[in-house]
A = this chain, B = another copy of it.
Amino acid sequence: MTIYDISEKAGVSIATVSRVLNGSSNVSEKTKKKVLDVIDKYEYTPNAFARGLGLNTMKTIGIMCADSSDLYLAKAIYYIEQKLRTNGYDSILCCTGYNLKNKISSMNLLISKKVDSIILVGSHFICESEADNKYIADAAAQVPVMLLNAALEAPNVYCVVSDDYTSMYEATLQMIQSGITDIVYFYNSASYSGKKKLAGYRAAMEEHGLFKGEESMQFYQGSHEDIPAMTNYLRQLCQKGVVFRGIIAADDTLALAAVKYARESRLQIPKELAVIGYNNSMLAHCCDPELTSIDNKLETLCQHLISTLLGVLGGSEMPKKTVFSGELIKRGTTL
């Protein structure tokens, strides 16, 4: 069923059908109804390709994320997808994994699909070396690129980020002020936001002369879901003689693993071991005591990202970078 069939059955030209389809005002009510009736009757839907070919837009946004099964990223995707749809856009999702080559090929794929913009969810897309970030700038030469929780200065690239540095700085400060001095930072990602977090922790520690170098920063390298492996890491850390009375974790999963480690080691929480997580996800409620965690206002970030995107697409001048503050949600794992 094409626009030609409809025009024929309705006894009008294809232009008129097209006008009705696109809500043009220059159609008489009578003709409009006639056309609409035929469309309804045959359950006709316009061919998106043909439309896209002419308009060179498909009202489609490409979303890239490293791993949609990651609790945090999944949530972000959910918010973004919903808000896009509300605004008449839909989305192609690409789970790229963590390999640069795959990221680049996903990007090319999306561009060849003529998406109107590309949203990079999470900070895994920013690499250490400038050169490795070229693919983002390249893409931005074609369509606006939006970064969620990552930053890159380039034309046509817009960033919406949570102030991870400050959040971590303040969380660390609070723990220090509660009288704990041996605080270890427990993390699993050296991504853009990962580095910001680490820097915030480090600044607070150094200011109080508590930073012990390598020993203070514990990097867990493994599946982001493998809690037993994480607790195991901490157990070994303890066996190696590293002393810690507080753990600040880069995400709630790591924090939860810390709580679990404490239980297994019969350490009282928060008295003998205090823990702070990050993301304020459902995991915060999953352990006992419940996690103190930093809420980085994901939904707000996503909402803002979409508003910015719509602005850009609409031709408005939009801020290149927007920063939101996080908030420490205190629960049972801190004093």
Contact = CB atoms under 8 A, between A and B. Distances in A.
B93 A91 contact: yes
B93 A81 contact: yes
B94 A92 contact: no
A78 B69 contact: yes
B53 A81 contact: no
Interface stretch (A24-32, A198-206, A284-292): A284-292
B68 A112 contact: no
Interface string A227-262: 110000000000000000000000001001000100
A239 B283 CA distance: 27
A222 interface: no
Contacts of A228: 285
Contacts of A67: 78
A46 interface: yes
A48 B256 contact: no
A112 B74 contact: no
Q: 4 closest A-B pairs (Cβ-Cβ)?
A: A49-B52, A69-B78, A74-B74, A227-B285
**Number of copies of this protein chain within its complex:** 2
Nearest to A227: B285
A321 to B, nearest CB: 26
A69 B75 contact: yes
A87 interface: no
Interface string A159-197: 000000000000000000000000000000000000000
A95 interface: yes
Interface in A48-94: 48-50, 52-53, 56, 58, 60, 63, 67-69, 71, 74-75, 77-78, 81-82, 85, 90-94
Nearest to A56: B49
Contacts of A45: 108, 111-112
Among A52, A68, A71, A77, the one with the most B-chain Cβ atoms within 10 Å of its Cβ is A68
Contact of A112 (B46, B112, B114): B46
Contacts of A286: 227, 256, 260, 283, 286-287
Contact of A90 (B92, B263, B285): B92
A282 interface: yes
Contacts of A92: 60, 90-93
